[in-house]
């Protein structure tokens, strides 16, 4: 019964993410359509690789007739931030968790699923992730397929506006813990300021968004860990 209740919690928290994914992947489907990808191919690609920036790069390279090696390298670099997220989640894994659970929920570590998962207290429960995946993966895949089939029928501004749901979800993830913990609040403020700096300074603005995310995550989290270390009792 515990697994079922935790699974349903994941479904509940995953529904708003799935709605945002549907909107974002709809516009992704339009990009896929422009390079000749069919609806079935697009849905399969989205189901197996839930990464918006990585898939945009993938579809662009397919349209440019890039080699398989080039596609693999670019998508690896574009999605490198997920290595950091997986490292963070690995610190919350129960040592007794079965390897197949680690593999299954580790295969779908997106920005949003990472956000709702890392915010949960205690060890990770794979059934929570399975619940979130049960609604977010179809939302992403179906949105891509429909974008390929009928994306050109909707105004571009409408599709763009729908994606605001993801930003709202992110705010809901980090605001509650930031209100309770001054260290988290300081990290959030520092990340906002640093992101703005990267946009305003010409030399820094040339750095890709994925690389910026990796650099800021490593620097800010390392500084917070060094200046405000937490004991095991606090983490539990």
Can you tell me the mean pLDDT for 73-78? 77
pLDDT in tens, 160-196: 665 565 566 567 667 777 888 888 888 889 988 988 8
In terms of Cα–Cα distance, which of 172, 110, 186, 117 is closest to 141? 110
d(CA 101, CA 92): 13
Q: What percent of the chain has pLDDT over 70?
A: 86
Which residue in the block uniquely carries the two structure tokens 């998508």?
75
Residue corresponding to tokens 């069919």 = 38
CA–CA distance, 212 with 194 (Å, rounded to integer): 10
**Burial environment of residue 41 by CB neighbours within 10 A (0 to 12, 13 to 18, 19 or more):** middle
The whole-angstrom distance between residue 179's C-alpha and the CA centroid of its chain comes to 23
Answer with the residue of higher pLDDT: 68 or 12: 12
Domain regions of the chain by residue span = 2-173, 181-236
**Within 13 Å and on the Cβ side, how many CA atoms surround 134?**
15
**pLDDT at residue number 34:** 80
Place 230 in a pLDDT band, splitting at 50, 70 and 90: low
Q: Is the pTM of this model over 0.85?
A: no
Whether the predicted pLDDT of 64 surpasses 90: no
Q: Using CA atoms, how far apart are residues 45 and 62, in angstroms rounded to an integer?
A: 12
């Amino acid at each position: 019964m515990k697994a079922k209740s935790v699974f349903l919690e994941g479904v509940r928290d995953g529904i708003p993410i799935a709605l945002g994914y549907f909107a974002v992947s709809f516009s992704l489907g339009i990009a896929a359509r422009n390079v000749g990808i069919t609806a079935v191919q697009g849905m399969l690609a989205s189901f197996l690789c839930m990464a918006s920036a990585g898939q945009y790069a993938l579809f662009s390279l397919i349209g440019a007739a890039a080699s398989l090696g080039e596609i693999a390298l670019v998508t690896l670099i574009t999605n490198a931030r997920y290595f950091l997220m997986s490292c963070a989640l690995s610190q919350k894994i129960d040592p007794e968790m079965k390897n197949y659970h680690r593999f299954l929920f580790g295969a779908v570590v997106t920005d949003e699923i990472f956000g709702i998962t890392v915010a949960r207290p205690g060890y990770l429960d794979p059934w929570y992730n399975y619940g979130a995946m049960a609604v977010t993966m179809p939302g992403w895949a179906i949105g891509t397929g429909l974008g390929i089939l009928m994306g050109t029928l909707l105004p571009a501004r409408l599709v763009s506006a729908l994606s605001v749901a993801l930003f709202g979800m992110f705010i809901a993830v980090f605001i509650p813990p930031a209100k309770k913990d001054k260290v988290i609040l300081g990290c959030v403020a520092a990340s906002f300021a640093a992101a703005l700096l990267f946009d305003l300074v010409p030399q820094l603005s040339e750095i890709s968004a994925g690389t910026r995310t990796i650099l800021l995550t490593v620097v800010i989290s390392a500084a917070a860990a060094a200046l405000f270390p937490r004991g095991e009792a606090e983490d539990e």
